[in-house]
Structure formats: structure tokens, C-alpha cells
Chain A
Amino acid sequence: MMTDEKKKVNLTIDGIQVEAYEGDMVLDAARRAGIDIPTLCYHPAIGPIGSCRVCVVEIENGRGLPASCVTPVREGMVVRTNTEAVREARRTVVELILASHPQDCLQCERNGRCELQALAMRLGIRETRFHREKEHKECDTSSPALVRDADKCILCGRCVNMCADVQNVAALGFAYRGTDALVTPMFERGLAESKCVSCGQCAKICPVGAIHEKEEWQKVADLISDPNLHVVVQVAPAVRAAIGEEFGIPAGTPVTGKLATALKMLGFDAVFDTQFTADLTIMEEGTELIERLKTKGPLPLITSCSPGWIKYAETFHPEFIPNLSSCKSPQQMMGAIIKTYYAKKAGIDPDKIVSVSVMPCTAKKSECARPEMNASGRRDVDIVLTTRELACMIRQAGIRFQDLSDGEFDAPLGISTGAGTIFGTTGGVMEAALRTVYEIVTKKPLG
């Protein structure tokens, strides 16, 4: 953001001399100066929207109370962020949002992680002076991955911007006007009928509980309790790095061993590592690349591990479908192996196997529901849980995750080369594929 070409601008915020750069917004400058103006619709991952009006400030000789997230700094500007007028306006605005927002926080998926809840708490709101009846809308549960609850939507526009401007999908948009305004897929259809690719970025950026992943942990817990079923779980590479965060372990700390222990404690009959099939994926994709290079097949070859990306390409760029690798993703390879090879080896009726996977991405829920994902003659992967859902199960079971001792994945599908671990990072799949190609082509191990 800050480059030497940008002009410096001096301004005063709450009596503090602040240096900023031309093009900066007052909010950025204030935060850098240690003044934490409250916000709601603002999110650094998307451009400022300016719809919630929570971050309003007073500017000397200016008109009204502009929103600081969309007000550019000016030389000599004098800003006040904590005057009585500002406090009253902020409070009123938050109360107006609460006026039509469901007050069932205790049952909300976002309880405790809700930005509106936190904001109301921060502003010390104990009562709302206003009340507005809102037309009830049924929850949209059509998508295998995501649930939209329009009743909880505060129309901040974050998901709309994220979906359109960042993900380039634009499955969500605004419809109607005034208090009828609604964030919805086109013609108020369900997400499943829209061009949604199930990437889940909307759920990630939603400040409240209006969009969240479809929760299936309860179903899994019930299936585990059924003695007639053999419930198998596979865990994606990224999960072992992310799940620690849910239990206060610093982000990025690998907790593979604790994870294996926790899954066994939860009662899964077998705990496998998706890295095993990540290895398979790489060998398949690597040889596919060599084959295509030889036969001058469609190039470049694009890896096919991400179901969000596959759906995106199918929907928006079908011209690239021939370039996609014909390989299944590691999750689906594992799913197929579990209900064929593993079932045979372990002597279990594949119809009695429930195949669960824990994945870092909501699109995996959509992937396993695709009709062609039945190599075993039945659905290969039955249920996909996100990292968060697994954490929820672990907490419920009373397991102190952070204190667990290291366990092991089960053989044979728990053993891997470790090459698949880098799948969880950007460019990792590609790098792993190239490493494999190098070894196959040169017949020499990579140094």
C-alpha cells in the first residue's frame, strides 16, 4: 500500500498528529495511530463498503458524520472519533441493526464468534429502543455445503462483495429495496440452483450467523454410536495445522498426533490420513502430465484437487475442462479405496461402512455429493466435516485436545511419504506433482 510515490498527508485524529498517505482512509490512519474505531461491514479482505455507518467520525468543517472507512485523508484534516455526537450516532445505528435482528443469540451458530454481538457488547448496549418486524424467510438449506439464514442477515454486503469481486462468482446479490432488501441468489432461488461453487468464502466473511457451513457433526456422532456400522474417518493435510487454533494452540502448529488420538477417542473405527491418497494423486497426476507431454495432450495440465475450483471452471470457464487433470481429489480417492480395497482387506461389508472426511473447505461437502463420485458402486464419501465441526465434536466429548498425547493413524491407509503434506499450502499440489515427475523422468530421487 505505502510506496514512496504516494504523497504524505498530515492530519490530526483525536488530537494526535498522524502521518498518512494520499489515498488512505481515515479508518486506516486512525488504526495505525492506535485509535480503534469500531466497524462492522468493513473487512480488510474486501474493499470498503460503507454500508453500516458504524465507523462514523466527526470532521472539522465537514458535513454530517462521514464513515471513516470510505473517507480519504486530507492534508490538515481534523478528525474526532469519540465525541458525544459520534457515540450517539454509532449507538443509534447499532440499535437500528438490532431492531430487526433475531434475539436468539444463544442458539445461533455464531454465538460467541459474532461480530454484531461483540460490537453491541463493546458499545455497552443493554436495551434497544427500536423494534421492527421483519418478514420471515425460510432457511436456504439447498446447498450441500452452506446454509443461508436471511432472518439473521444484516445486509452489510460483505458476502456479496466477496463472492463477486474476490471470488469472481457473483452467486449472491441484493434484491428488492428498502426494508425488503435481501441478499439472495438470483430470483430468490436456493444456493444449489445458483452458480455457487461452494467455496465458503461468504460464510467465512459473514459477520453474523446468516451464512454458515452446513453442520453435520451431529449426524456423525449418531452414526458412531450405531454398533452395526463401521465409521471410518480421513483427515486432510491442512486440518492438522488448523485445528490447534480452536484450542488455543498458535496458528500453524502441526498437531497431527493429538488429532489422531482425538479421533480415536471420539470413537471412529478407523482413522486414516488423506495424505495417503495425496501421494496417489501426485503419482497419477505426475504420470498424466508425462503422458500428455508425450502425446501432446491438452496442456497446460491443471490439477483437480480443489472441488471449488473444478466447479468454477465447469461453470465459468468450460473451455478449460480438457486441461483439468482426470484424477480424483485425494478425498475421493480415499473414499473409493475405503469402500473397495480396505473393505475387502478388513472383510467388512462396504454397505456397513460410513466414510467420513475432515476437510478444510466447504466445497468438499459438495464434492462428495456429486453423482459421479461412486466408484465403489455407492457413495464413496458419506459425510464431510469442516475443521470447525470436528473441533465442536471434540469439545463436546470433553476432550482436552491441547493436553492429548500423540497417537498414530491406522495402517494401511494412514501411512504416507509426507509429500502430500504440502498440499495444504498454496502451490503445494503443483510442487508435489513436479517433484514426482522429476523422479519418474530422471529415475533419480530428488535431492
Chain B
Amino acid sequence: MSPFIRAHILVCSGAGCVSSGCHGVYDSLMRALEEEGILGEVKVIKTGCIGSCDLGPTVLIYPDGTFYQKVTPEDAKEIVEEHIVKGRPVARLFPRQAEGEPAENISSLNFFKKQVKVVLRNCGVIDPENIYEYVARDGYEALARVLTDMTPKDVIDTIKQSGLRGRGGAGFPTGLKWEFAQRVHADEKYVVCNADEGDPGAFMDRSVLEGDPHSIVEAMTIAGYAIGANQGYIYVRAEYPLAVSRLTHAIEEAHEFGVLGENLFGSGFSFDLDIRVGAGAFVCGEETALLASMEGKRGMPRPRPPFPANEGLFRKPTLINNVETYANIAPIILKGPDWFRSIGTEKSPGTKVFALAGKINNTGLVEVPMGTTLREIVYEIGGGIPGGKAFKAAQTGGPSGGCIPESLLDISMEYDTLTKAGAMMGSGGLIIMDEDTCMVDIAKFFLQFTQDESCGKCVPCREGTKVMLDILTRITEGKGQAGDIQTLEALGKTIKNTALCGLGQTAPNPVLSSIRYFRNEYEAHIDEKRCPGGVCKDLVGYEIDAEKCRGCSLCAKACPTQAIHPVAGEAALAEASGGEGGHKPKRRTYEIDNSKCQKCGECMSVCRFDAVSRR
């Protein structure tokens, strides 16, 4: 390789881009560079997730910062021939913003503009399988500083002063947790990383593990030093094979380079890490269930206290933090607690990564300072709602969270405000819903999830959520009864108050928050047997307005169940009068057979004359 590198090509290799074909793009880039004879002048690396998953495979070219979206292997060849060799960027591969103008540079993309990357600082930037790249970005400097310059108390004080709160969902002060674990005297302690990311749609932890695994290795080692543990475990779900392989590689590399193992930095402190692969039960994200699972038992929560800090893995004091929390540690050590506090809000310092999904133009991972408003995330970063539809609500915190209505779009996205609004920060899932969403149906969807994932141990969660789900199902089927809303509220409250673990205690949130903000939708379902969002199939029907129908038959062709046919008498008439040279047949119209109709709405979307309506 020549000492001079004229360009860096970063090929996003997060799981999203892997599934959309980034490996083919990478191979094609390498081949083209070889053909051009400039393989030694251009450095191509596979990075972790850059966040804009809907645009993948993405390719980023430095030094200029050119951003290419949806790149195919053929495009990759063109990029080399045009951009790299001739200096002419391939404009057709630039992403388009909502306003329509293409953005060629990553810095001009609205999606990235408002983001502040602390947790994701290295994701999409470095090659996660190359420890040199991590070190070049100040990797392991924090560990070196901690082991050579700081006492465990200094470390804990720094974390406490930073105000960092657990990113796993509940927002417990991290420094305090570390202090609890440090204070307990025991012959053995453990550090555990909760990478059992289970919220549907949330994947920030996976991205960090895939894109910057060393940041977790480093932070866990720091935590081990702080609390007096020499062994750590990363509990990661089996559905994350790429994360497991990159972590495994990182642990091996860290051993090789002497930043993990015996006598680190000559300090006398030793620390080792192992991976435990979970089978993928949502409840195993609950810390006591996670520990049970790690011990080889059924992943079922147990009552706390004792808290893991006192009695955790194998009954030894155990510190458990989630991936995103650990990813904040090294920067806090290096830049200091004041720097960290300068980001975010007073009560929730730092940043939060959200997984934007649902009815929004730009989906993917976004990292913003705590306190950013929902409106900024939806409209500036997310690029608004597709099809010019109206925003209806956002679900935060996944199935344990709640919905935020349009009236609260300016809510500051931080722990306490979200909880106050009846939602939850959770792990940072952020699902955007538009006017076509039925809130009862959404509540049912989330409750179905927690119901399925309930471990079945405690009565309120096992039986209560099932009863709530049955009521919701009835309501969406048009069989709601007077008093259903009150029963849901009462049951929800009891489950929240009496369930054994966080899963059960938060399971009613989607129902309670949607009743709180969208009670009228529940009432419409129950009292009027009407679904305002037009989603609940038993309450929705389509009809064709004979006056507007021009008989073009598009709807009949589009109908997947052949439920649309010409009106009987008219068809014969049209048949009889048709076909005589240029003579226009009498207009025939179509109608829908409701016994065959699957309520998919396809007829309505294909009709050019606005003749199909939903009732």
C-alpha cells in the first residue's frame, strides 16, 4: 500500500446494509479499484451502522464526505470509475431530502445535521474489526487513564458527577449503581452487559456492538476496576449473530493487544470477558431474568431486593448496565463530567439514541441530545410523515411505553417528561404513527407482544394482560361493551401496581396512554362500531359510488380476492350495446361483494375517480 491514501471509502456493514447487499458492493468496489490499478491508493473499509438504514447499502467517501445511497454492485463500479478516478461524483446516487433537492454531502443531510454522536461516535466511521481504528479514535485511552491515574472511587465519582442515567429504560443513575456494587464486600463480583435488546424496532445496542464493540469491552473493564470485579459477561441475544461475531473478534483482539486479561497497563488489575448468548426472550432483558438465564435456568424474574448489586450472578454482587450506557463511559472519562452535562438537560444529561420507525420519511438510528423535542425528531431529522399525511402519535419505549399525541409534539424527550406523559423512555424505540393508524389496534398490537412475552410467573401479568387483550380484541371486532374502557383502566392500574417485574408493571402503558389521549377512538369503536383510523377490519367496509364510477375496472383488477364485479344488470346491458364500431357502450359500474372483501383498501388506492370510499 502506498504511503499516500487519496480516498477512504466507508461501506456501511450494519445488519441492515448487510441484508440489502453491502458485501456485494464492497467486493465490486475492490474489483473496480484493482482493475483501475489504484487499490493501494484507496482504503475501503466495512464500518458499523451509520444509522440511515432505509437508504442502504450506503457508501461514504472521504475526504469530501460524499454520501451515496442504495448502491448496487454496478453502481459501485461507476463510483470508482467516475468519482474516484475522474473526480466526478455520481449525482444520481445522492439521497433526496423531503424537499426534493439532492444532498451530496453527509453534512448537508438533515438526517445527520441535528445529531450529536457520543454513543454512536465510532459507528459508521471505523472498521469494527480493526482495533487500530478504535485506538486511533482515542480508544482504550480512558481505560489507560483509569488504571494509571484514578482510584475506583475517582471513577465512580466521575460517573456520578456526569449524571449519566441507565439507558436500558428506567433511567437509574449509573454512578449510584456502580457505587452500590463497589460498596459490597465479596470474594468475587461480576460486571454484566445487558445486550438482550428486545423492544420491537429498537436496534441501537446491536448497532453499537456491531459498529464499535471495543467501546463496550473498554467500558466494562473500567466498570470492573471501579467495582472490584475481574470477570465480565456480555449477555447478547442469539438473533444478533453479527454482533456476537464482532464482539468475539474484539475480545480476542483486546487480549492480543494487552487491554484485556492479566495485569492491564501494568496496574496489577486483571479483567476478562465472556459472551453469553441468550435464546431471545423479551423478559430476559429484565435483569433478574437475565441473570437466571445466564446461570442456565429458565429466564424468569425474581423479586427484588436483593438487587443484583448485592446478590446477582451466582449470588455474587453484580453490576448490570445496558450497552448504550456502557458506550457513554469512555467519553465521560476522557472529556469529563462537565462536558457530558453540557449536552442534554439538567435531569437527563447526555444524548439518547432513538430507533425511528413507522410512518416517517427517514427511518433509522438517530442520536440527539436529551431534551430535543419530538417535533424536531419527527420533522427535521425524520423528514416528516410520508404522503403529506398528518402526524397522529408517537410510541416511545416500545411495548412498555406509551403514545405521545400531536398536542405534545413539543415535549422534551427526556426520562421524566416522558414518564409524566404516561409514556416511557424505554430503550429508545420511537414509532411514528399517522392519521391512518388506529390507536386501539396499536394498543392491542403492543399488548399482544407483552402477553406473548410474559414469562407467566405472576398472576397480574399472565392473566391480567390476557384479559385486557381479550377486551381490546373484542372492541376492535365491533363487540365492545359499555364499561370496557373502565375495566381496562382498572385492570391496567392493578397490573401496574402489583406485577412482579418491569415487564408486567409497564405492560398496560400502551393501553392506558392511548385511552388517556385517544379516548374518543375507543368510544367510536364501542359506541358507534366505527374505526376512525379505518384499520379494524370488522368495522371497515368499502363502497363504490355509482355516480362517480366510470367503469374503468381498475379496482376489479386490483382486488386480490375478486370481490369486485360489474353491477349485474348493467353488465349485460353493456355487453349487448358494446362493440359496435366506435359506438360508446352505456356506462357500466362496479360493486363490491362484502362477503369476499378482505378490507385491504387496494380498490380505494387505485381508483382514479375518487369513487371508492371507506365507511
Contact = CB atoms under 8 A, between A and B. Distances in A.
Given A99-B463, A179-B451, A181-B462, A155 B498 contact: no
B458 interface: yes
A190 B453 CA distance: 26
A254 interface: no
Given A52-B458, A96-B463, A174 B496 contact: no
A96 B463 CA distance: 6
Contact of B499 (A48, A53, A174): A53
Interface in A69-99: 70-72, 85, 88-89, 92-93, 96-97, 99
A50 B467 CA distance: 21
A178 B456 contact: yes
A296 to B, nearest CB: 41
Interface stretch (B229-237, B297-305, B531-539): B297-305
A353 to B, nearest CB: 48
A50 B504 CA distance: 14
A54 B463 CA distance: 14
A42 to B, nearest CB: 12
A153 to B, nearest CB: 11
Contacts of B452: 177-178
Interface string A38-50: 0000000000101
Interface residues of A, number: 35
B197 to A, nearest CB: 18
Contacts of B455: 177-178, 181
Given A53-B499, A53-B500, A155 B303 contact: no
Contact of A155 (B283, B462, B490): B462
B458 A50 contact: yes
Interface secondary structure of B, over-half rule? helix
Contact of B460 (A70, A96, A179): A96
A51 B300 CA distance: 11
Interface string A58-76: 0000001101001110000
Given A52-B459, A97-B459, A129-B487, A65 B454 contact: no
B456 A176 contact: yes
A174 B497 contact: no
A180 B496 CA distance: 21
Contact of B498 (A64, A130, A174, A177): A64
A50 B500 contact: yes
B456 A96 contact: no
B491 interface: yes
Contacts of A129: 487
Contacts of B498: 53, 56, 64-65, 67, 89, 93
A93 to B, nearest CB: 5
Interface residues of B, number: 34
Contacts of A50: 302-303, 458, 500
A207 interface: no
A51 B505 contact: no
A178 B462 contact: yes
A185 interface: no
Interface string A208-242: 00000000000000000000000000000000000
Contacts of B451: 178-179
Nearest to A97: B459
Contacts of B281: 177
B457 interface: yes
Contact of B459 (A51, A88, A177): A51
Contacts of A181: 455-457, 462
A100 interface: yes
Contacts of B497: 56, 64-65, 85, 89
Contacts, number: 101
Interface in B421-464: 451-460, 462-464
Interface string A172-215: 01101111110000000000000000000000000000000000
Contacts of A6: none
A200 B425 CA distance: 48
B467 A53 contact: no
B494 interface: yes
Contacts of B454: 177-179
Interface in A319-337: none
A179 B487 contact: no
B575 interface: no
A157 interface: yes
A132 interface: yes
Nearest to A94: B459
Given A50-B303, A89-B497, A132-B470, A179 B459 contact: no
B36 to A, nearest CB: 56
A130 B490 CA distance: 13
Contacts of B500: 50-51, 53, 67
B466 interface: yes
A407 to B, nearest CB: 50
A97 B463 contact: yes
Contacts of A157: 457
A333 B457 CA distance: 45
Contacts of B457: 51, 155, 157, 174, 181
A97 B463 CA distance: 7
B300 A92 contact: no
B453 A93 contact: no
Interface string B295-334: 0001010110100000000000000000000000000000
Interface in B463-486: 463-467, 470
Contacts of B463: 96-97, 99-100, 130, 132, 179
Given A89-B498, A92-B494, A96-B464, A177 B303 contact: no
B456 A67 contact: no
Contact of B458 (A53, A64, A174): A53
A24 to B, nearest CB: 13
Interface string B264-289: 00000000000000000101000000
Interface string A126-151: 00011010000000000000000000
Nearest to A69: B303
Contact of B456 (A53, A71, A174): A174
Contacts of B491: 92
A321 to B, nearest CB: 28
A299 B457 CA distance: 45
Contact of A178 (B300, B303, B460, B466): B466
Given A93-B494, A93-B498, A180 B458 contact: no
Most central of B302, B463, B465, B496 by chain A CB within 10 Å = B463
Nearest to B491: A92
A56 B305 CA distance: 15
Contact of A53 (B302, B459, B470): B459
Nearest to B298: A174
Nearest to B299: A177
A416 to B, nearest CB: 48
B462 A179 contact: yes
A287 to B, nearest CB: 46
Contacts of B459: 51-54, 93, 96-97
B528 to A, nearest CB: 25
Contacts of A97: 459, 463
A53 B496 contact: no
A50 B303 CA distance: 7
Interface in B97-132: none
Contacts of B283: 177
A72 B467 contact: no
Q: A-B pairs with the 4 shortest C-beta distances?
A: A181-B456, A70-B303, A96-B463, A50-B303
16 contacts: A50-B458, A51-B459, A53-B458, A65-B497, A67-B303, A70-B303, A85-B497, A92-B460, A93-B494, A96-B460, A132-B466, A132-B467, A174-B457, A176-B456, A177-B281, A181-B455
Given A50-B302, A178-B452, 20 more contacts: A48-B303, A50-B458, A52-B459, A54-B459, A56-B498, A70-B303, A92-B490, A93-B494, A93-B498, A99-B463, A99-B467, A132-B466, A155-B462, A177-B456, A178-B451, A178-B456, A178-B462, A179-B466, A181-B456, A181-B457
